[in-house]
Amino acid sequence: MVLLRAVSRYVCCSHFLEASMACVGLDIGHSAVKVAWRGKDGELKHVTIPSVAVPAMTISDKAASDQAAKETVTVDGDVYFIGDTAIHEAGSLKVAGLHHRWLEMREFRALVQGAINLVMADVGKIDSVITGLPPAIFREKQLQMRNIVSACTEAEVKVYPEPNGVSMRYSIDEKGRMIPDAKKNMGVIAIGRFTTDSMALLNGRWVEEAAGSANGMSRAAIMVQKKLKDQGYEVDYLDADDALWKGAIQYYGKEIDVSATVKIAMRILSSEIFDAVSTKFGDNGRKLDKILVAGGGAELLFDGLAPYWPQAELIEDPRFAVAEGFRRFGEGVWNARHGESA
C-alpha cells in the first residue's frame, strides 16, 4: 500500500522528535464520531460523540445551558446541538443519515465541526486531520469529504478508505513507527452502523477490486424492529439498535427478553457479510495471513464470522481502530517530515 510505504521510508529512521504536535484521527460513524489525538500532556485521547445533531433551542436552566455550550456548533449561521446534548434536548429521535448522501446534510458538518472544536479546546492548534470514507463511495466523495473537514480547520486534511485505518492501527505503533513484523497479506472487515467495509492487502499493497461495502448493524436493527412489530411491540429504531447489545427492550415498565429475535437477526447479518466480503476477496481470501475484524459491531458479530475465516482476529479496542490508526499514520508522517529536516 502506497501510503504505508510512504511512512515506512521515513518512520523507520533511528530517531523521532518528541516536539509538540496534534495529529487527529477522525472516524465519523453513523452511530458515533470517534476522535483520537495526543493531548498537550502527551497522553493519547479517545473520545466519542454520539452522531446526533439537532437545531439548537433555548435552555432556561443555567447549568444545563452551560453544559450545552460545550456541544453547540454553528454551520452556515445555523446553530446546532450535537452529541449528548442533542439527544437530551430532542428526546426520542428518528435516526437520520443512514444513506450515502449523509455528507450533504448540515448535521454531518455540525458533527465534524464539533469534533474539531473538541480537539482545539485541548491543544490549541491542529497540525493534521486524517479521516476516511467507506470504499463504496470513496472515489466519488473523497474531495467533498476533504472540503468539509478543511472548512472546519486550517490543518492539513487527508482522506483514505476507512478500512485503511484498521490496517494502520495494526501496522504502526503508538508513536507512528512501522511495526517490522506486521503481516503484509491481510484482510480488514470494519463493521459499522450503516456499512461493513472491507479491504485486502497483498504484499502490503491495497487490492482495489477486493475493497467494498456491505450491510452494517442497522440491517440487524431494522430486522429486529420489524419482527418485534409483528409480535405486537412498537419500538423505534434506537430501541431496536439498543436491543442488539442488551437482548431486551423496556416496554411499559417491563423488561422484555428479545434475545431470540436478536440472535436470528445477527445470524442473518453475519451470513450476508460473509457472502459480500467473500465475493470481494475472491481468490485473495485464502492468501490472507490475518483478517482483522474491527468497528462498533465487531464484538457482537465476531463469533458469527470467525467460523468462516480461521485467520480472523478481533483487533484491540475495535470501535476506535479506524480513528487510532489514522492518528498513528498522521503522527508518523509528521515525525518523518520533521525528522528529515532535522
Give residue-wise pLDDT tens across range 289-306: 999 999 999 999 999 999
Cell numbers that stand for 88 in this block: 437530551
> Given a cut of 60, is residue 7 above it in pLDDT?
no
Cell numbers that stand for 207 in this block: 487490492
Confidence (pTM): 0.89
Return the bridge partners of 37, or none.
45
Strands (E), 51-185: 53-55, 72-75, 78-82, 128-133, 156-161
Nearest Cα to 196, choosing from 163, 169, 170, 223?
163
> Given a cut of 50, is residue 329 above it in pLDDT?
yes
Cell numbers that stand for 147 in this block: 472540503
The set of residues, in sequence order, having a beta carbon less than 8 Å from that of 265 and lying 6+ positions away, is: 220, 221, 223, 224, 227, 244
Give residue-wise pLDDT tens across range 119-157: 999 999 999 999 999 998 999 999 999 999 999 999 999
Cα separation of the two ends of the chain: 27
Chain position carrying cell 411491540: 233
Q: What is the rounded average pLDDT of the residues 224-243?
A: 95
Q: What is the rounded average pLDDT of the residues 5-22?
A: 49
Average pLDDT, the chain: 89
Dist CA 172 CA 314 (whole Å): 17
